[in-house]
Amino acid sequence: MSRKILVSAGEASGDLYASLVVEELRRISPDLEFFGCTGPRMRTAGVETVVDAASLAVVGLLEVVPHIPRILGEIRKLLAVACDRKPELAILTDSPDFHLRVARRLHRAGIPVVYLVAPQVWAWRKGRLPGMRRTIRRLLCIFPFEEEFFRRAGVNATYIGHPLAGLIRPSLTRDEFFRKHRLAAGRPLVTVLPGSRRGEAARHLPALLDAADRLYREQAVNLVLPASAHTGVAFFRERLGGSPILAIEGESWDALAHADLALAASGTVTVEAALLGTPMVTFYKVTTPSWVVGKLLVRIPFYSMVNLIAGRALVPELMQSRMTGEALAREARRLLTDEKARQDMKAGLAEVRDKLSRGPVALHHVAASLPLCFDSQESQAGMPAPRRAAAIIQEILEGQVVHVS
């Protein structure tokens, strides 16, 4: 009889990370069956859809309020199926407003919870920690500073490294990418990344369109916008009008890898840019009420994860009222024309990439318990993060104790 695993993700990045872990678990245990809240990546990996992750794509402290009844309905649907099928374990990925509620109810039902991508309670809402201690069997952290924070708070946390480290790379050469999209070979490439959800992209587009017009007139650049699967290229093409920005379907890693500069919404895409070594200007904007509430609650020195990992203001952050077309164009112009500033940033991004690529020193018993999938070298820090996650999950399924140092 096959064993069942519930897997859930509510974001494009979480959908990718969870799909990678599912693929690794299938290598270890081909008999496993997966179902849950899925995006396109998880569906491709063979996870049966109970809830579509696109229904959870809402951003902002106050913006989510009108959607609460629908989101609670999705929670009830997911939990009803979980109670009926009785999975041996649940893997919940990111999206804490949704998944911490799910985790509490799964815990009460006796279903162990592994949480992938730690909620950012180190920045705000530390009141979530007691509940996390009670309901999460293992928290898998993808940023190096998180493990110590959560362990001090009594949460069983392990840093596994970032899932994209060692994975993210372009599929085309720069020349191939330029030829495919008929870009001017002698001009710099600026990649525009307004966000993976329609709401945030719509808020960011006016300033980005203004910045694009300024840069196109003053610097004669190529401008490309790779649309996420959740947003879709048609959404942008309807809104670009006569803008010099070329909207393309997907290809974000190629567009980032070959860019001379990225204008990137604060989030996972800034980590992708750092791993690819692409200089960037980061930005973000929410509604005014959400910004005011957020300023009262959030206590962190930087908004961008790249700067938090670096421990300094490595990349410019243009947040809320500072995010204007003029400011974006000014910072972009500086990084396109000042070679020293570019090289300093690239050196800093290499440091960030190194930190994200280093996992825990060793997983002592993983290689012995899973000899067909792991060798002694892979049990060291070179093991990819999804494989570390799968090894930990497999040992939980087998009722073993995972020793991580």
Span 63-80, pLDDT tens digits = 555 557 778 888 899 999
Long-range contacts of 319-323 (CB under 8 A, 24+ apart): 319/266, 319/283, 319/284, 319/285, 320/284, 320/285, 320/286, 320/291, 323/204, 323/207, 323/283, 323/284, 323/285
- 284 with 373, same domain: the answer is no
- 273 with 136, same domain: the answer is no
Whether 72 is covered by a domain: the verdict is yes
Q: What CATH number is given to the structural domain containing 46?
A: 3.40.50.2000
Do residues 203 and 288 touch, judged by C-beta distance below 8 A? no
Beta-ladder partners of 192:
263
- 378 with 335, same domain: the answer is no
Provide the pLDDT confidence category of residue 289 given band limits of 50, 70 and 90: confident
Whether 404 is covered by a domain: the verdict is no
Q: 287 pLDDT exceeds 90?
A: no
Q: How many domains is the chain built from?
A: 2
pLDDT at 66: 59
- 15 with 157, same domain: the answer is yes
- 90 with 28, same domain: the answer is yes
- 313 with 219, same domain: the answer is yes
What is the percentage of the chain residues whose pLDDT exceeds 90? 70
Instruction: Determine the Cα–Cα distance for residues 155 and 157; give it in Å rounded to an integer.
Output: 6
- 262 with 388, same domain: the answer is no
Q: Is 137 exposed, middle or buried (0-12, 13-18, 19+ CB in 10 A)?
A: middle
From 78, 99, 25, select the one nearest 397 (Cα to Cα). 25
- 109 with 10, same domain: the answer is yes
Within 181-322, residue ranges assigned H as helices are 198-219, 233-240, 252-257, 268-276, 288-297, 305-310
Within 52-173, residue ranges assigned H as helices are 68-85, 96-108, 129-135, 146-152
- 161 with 23, same domain: the answer is yes
Whether 403 is covered by a domain: the verdict is no
300 or 324: which leads in pLDDT: 324
Q: Which domain holds residue 178?
A: 174-355
- 151 with 76, same domain: the answer is yes
- 150 with 275, same domain: the answer is no
Whether 405 is covered by a domain: the verdict is no
Per-residue pLDDT tens digits for 110-139: 999 999 999 989 887 889 999 999 999 999
Whether 28 is covered by a domain: the verdict is yes
- 8 with 153, same domain: the answer is yes
pLDDT at 296: 65
Q: Supply angle C-alpha 369, 372, 374, rounded to 5.
A: 70
Q: Report the predicted TM-score, pTM, of the whole model to 2 decimal places.
A: 0.79
Instruction: Determine the Cα–Cα distance for residues 77 and 80; give it in Å rounded to an integer.
Output: 5
Write down the mean pLDDT value for the chain.
88
Whether 236 is covered by a domain: the verdict is yes
